């Protein structure tokens, strides 16, 4: 069965198809989009060894002329050097304006392929085939593309929407459990910021810590509700003029934790989970959110097996200092997304350093 969610945008609307076993039909889906004949599949060795052949066969069978660009695996390769490799492959294979780049991988491959597609020949077609849970529910949707600068994450980039997103949940079978849990942080985020009913559905599941402990029905709900939430928010505010900022729930403290631990000790989703715990406690401290809902959120995060405490040895003053470097700082004031009730958040810059300090001290190990 295929479920379709539409991302409605003024310039370019597109569909997200969620289809178990859908990778096999990637070429068919692409053929229905009336794309040019040349296709460049961008991936990494980890993902390509599992799914490369199936994706290439499907694209070829649909009549496309397909080549590949395989980049090294990891966030440390999310840089302009990798983009140059994609450009070189595009040049060698004579990609044209009507050609298509396909991102087959997690958020790192998706963000880089999108940026290369946005800039090659001033913009060519782009299809997302996300293979991590995080990429399925978050990074493949909404058009944020880019790479890291040596001095900061995602500093170079463009808003550039894909023509199509294909989610095949079967590929999650090979995803390491740590990456699955990291994706669950973004999933829980949607429950807290947008969809209280979805939050309660996850609460009802006895386990959430491994994919194979989740019922197929709940996995479908997780993908559908998360993608719908992201599509709703992006459809209302594509360029983050206002509402889209709520997607950064948990990311303020999260980014600080991620960067201070070198992006490897604590991975993005884990840092977001820690950041959501901190934001929930800050909201409770400011009497904006009930203690009961704070505890419900934290219990759900803990049920996925994600950390809910700060990593050992992380200096709290260093976290507070690094908040000033956050992309969300406006006029020197740190902006926090804070919950007010389950499914509803607000953005505020009225959080004192003392309130942050008190919460972080309580979250230390």
The pair of three-digit structure tokens given for residue 238, joined into one six-digit string:
């594509």
Is 223 in contact with 231 (CB distance < 8 Å)? no
Q: Does 358 bind ligand GLY (CB under 6 A)?
A: no
Q: Which does 244 bind (CB under 5 to 8 A by kind): ligand GLY, ligand NAD, none?
A: ligand GLY
Q: Does 247 bind ligand GLY (CB under 6 A)?
A: yes
In 3D space, the residue among 357, 358, 365, 333 whose CA is nearest the CA of residue 347 turns out to be: 333
Pairing relationship of beta strands 38-43 and 100-105 according to DSSP bridges: parallel
Binders of ligand NAD in range 167-186 (CB under 6 A) = 171, 174-175, 179, 182
Q: Identify the burial level of 262 via C-beta atoms within 10 angstroms of its C-beta, where 0-12 means exposed, 13-18 middle and 19 or more buried.
A: exposed
- Number of amino acids touching ligand GLY (CB under 6 A): 5
Give me the 304-323 binding string for ligand GLY, x by CB under 6 A, dash otherwise: --------------------
**Least distance to ligand GLY, CB of residue 16, Å:** 14
Q: Does 138 bind ligand GLY (CB under 6 A)?
A: yes
Q: What are phi and psi of 232, to 5 degrees?
A: -60, -50
Closer Cβ to ligand GLY, 22 or 143, answer by number: 143
Q: Does 363 bind ligand GLY (CB under 6 A)?
A: no
In 3D space, the residue among 132, 120, 115, 122 whose CA is nearest the CA of residue 44 turns out to be: 132
* CA atoms of 359 and 338, how far apart (whole Å): 14
Active site residue 186: yes
Active site residue 268: yes
Binders of ligand NAD in range 31-90 (CB under 6 A) = 44, 46-47, 50, 73, 75, 78
Query: Among residues 25, 268, 281, 296, which one is catalytic?
Result: 268
Closer Cβ to ligand NAD, 156 or 316, answer by number: 156
Alpha carbon dihedral 66, 70, 73, 78, in 10-degree steps, equals -90
Closer Cβ to ligand NAD, 179 or 326, answer by number: 179
Q: Identify the burial level of 173 via C-beta atoms within 10 angstroms of its C-beta, where 0-12 means exposed, 13-18 middle and 19 or more buried.
A: exposed
In 3D space, the residue among 357, 363, 359, 266 whose CA is nearest the CA of residue 317 turns out to be: 357
* DSSP symbols for 52-110: HHHHHHHHHHTT-EEEEEEPPSSGGG-SHHHHHHHHHHHHHTT--TT-EEEEEESHHHH
Give the nearest residue (CB) to ligand GLY: 247
Query: Among residues 144, 189, 296, 328, which one is catalytic?
Result: 144
Q: What are phi and psi of 176, to 5 degrees?
A: -60, 145
Cβ-based neighbours of 55, under 8 Å, separated by 6 or more: 23, 26, 41, 43, 102, 104, 129
**Least distance to ligand GLY, CB of residue 233, Å:** 8
Q: Does 193 bind ligand GLY (CB under 6 A)?
A: no
Q: Does 185 bind ligand GLY (CB under 6 A)?
A: no
Q: How many CA atoms lie within 13 A of 13 on its CB side?
A: 10
**Least distance to ligand GLY, CB of residue 273, Å:** 15
Q: Does 238 bind ligand GLY (CB under 6 A)?
A: no
Please select the residue that binds ligand NAD; options are 64, 100, 111, 301, rule is CB under 6 A: 111
* CA atoms of 136 and 89, how far apart (whole Å): 26
Active site residue 258: no
Active site residue 251: yes
Binders of ligand GLY in range 273-302 (CB under 6 A) = none
Query: Where does this chain touch ligand NAD (CB under 6 A) — which range of 133-141, 254-262, 302-310, 331-339?
Result: 133-141
* CA atoms of 319 and 349, how far apart (whole Å): 17
Residues that bind ligand NAD (CB under 6 A): 44, 46-47, 50, 73, 75, 78, 105-109, 111, 131-132, 134-135, 138-139, 142, 144, 154, 171, 174-175, 179, 182, 268
Residues that bind ligand GLY (CB under 6 A): 138, 142, 144, 244, 247
Active-site positions read 122, 144, 186, 230, 240, 244, 248, 251, 255, 268
């Amino acid at each position: 069965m295929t479920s379709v969610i539409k991302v409605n945008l003024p310039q370019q609307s597109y569909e997200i198809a969620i289809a178990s076993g859908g990778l096999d039909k990637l070429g068919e889906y692409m053929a229905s989009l009336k794309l040019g004949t040349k296709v460049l599949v961008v991936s990494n060795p980890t993902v390509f060894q599992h799914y490369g052949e199936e994706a290439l066969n499907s694209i070829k069978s649909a009549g496309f002329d397909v080549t590949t660009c395989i980049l090294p695996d990891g966030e440390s390769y999310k840089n302009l050097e990798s983009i140059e490799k994609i450009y070189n492959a595009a040049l060698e294979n004579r990609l044209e304006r009507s050609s298509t780049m396909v991102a087959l991988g997690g958020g790192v491959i998706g963000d880089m392929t999108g940026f290369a597609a946005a800039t090659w020949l001033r913009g060519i077609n782009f299809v997302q085939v996300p293979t991590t849970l995080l990429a399925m529910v978050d990074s493949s949707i909404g058009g944020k593309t880019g790479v890291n600068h040596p001095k900061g994450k995602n500093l170079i980039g463009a808003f550039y929407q894909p023509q199509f997103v294909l989610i095949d949940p079967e590929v999650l079978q090979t995803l390491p459990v740590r990456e699955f849990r990291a994706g669950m942080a973004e999933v829980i985020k949607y429950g807290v910021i947008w969809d209280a009913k979805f939050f309660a559905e996850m609460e009802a599941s006895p386990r959430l810590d491994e994919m194979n402990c989740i019922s197929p029905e709940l996995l479908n709900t997780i993908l559908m509700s998360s993608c719908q939430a992201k599509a709703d928010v992006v459809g209302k505010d594509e360029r983050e003029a206002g509402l889209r900022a709520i997607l950064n729930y948990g990311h303020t403290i999260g980014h600080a934790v991620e960067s201070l631990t070198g992006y490897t000790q604590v991975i993005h989703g884990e840092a977001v989970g820690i950041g959501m715990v901190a934001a929930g406690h800050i909201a409770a401290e400011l009497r904006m959110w009930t203690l009961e809902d704070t505890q419900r959120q934290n219990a759900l995060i803990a049920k996925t097996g994600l950390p809910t405490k700060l990593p050992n040895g992380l200096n709290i003053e260093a976290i507070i200092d690094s908040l000033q470097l956050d992309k969300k700082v406006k006029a020197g004031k740190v902006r926090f997304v804070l919950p007010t009730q389950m499914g509803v958040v607000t953005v505020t810059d009225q959080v004192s350093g003392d309130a942050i300090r008190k919460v972080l001290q309580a979250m230390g190990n």
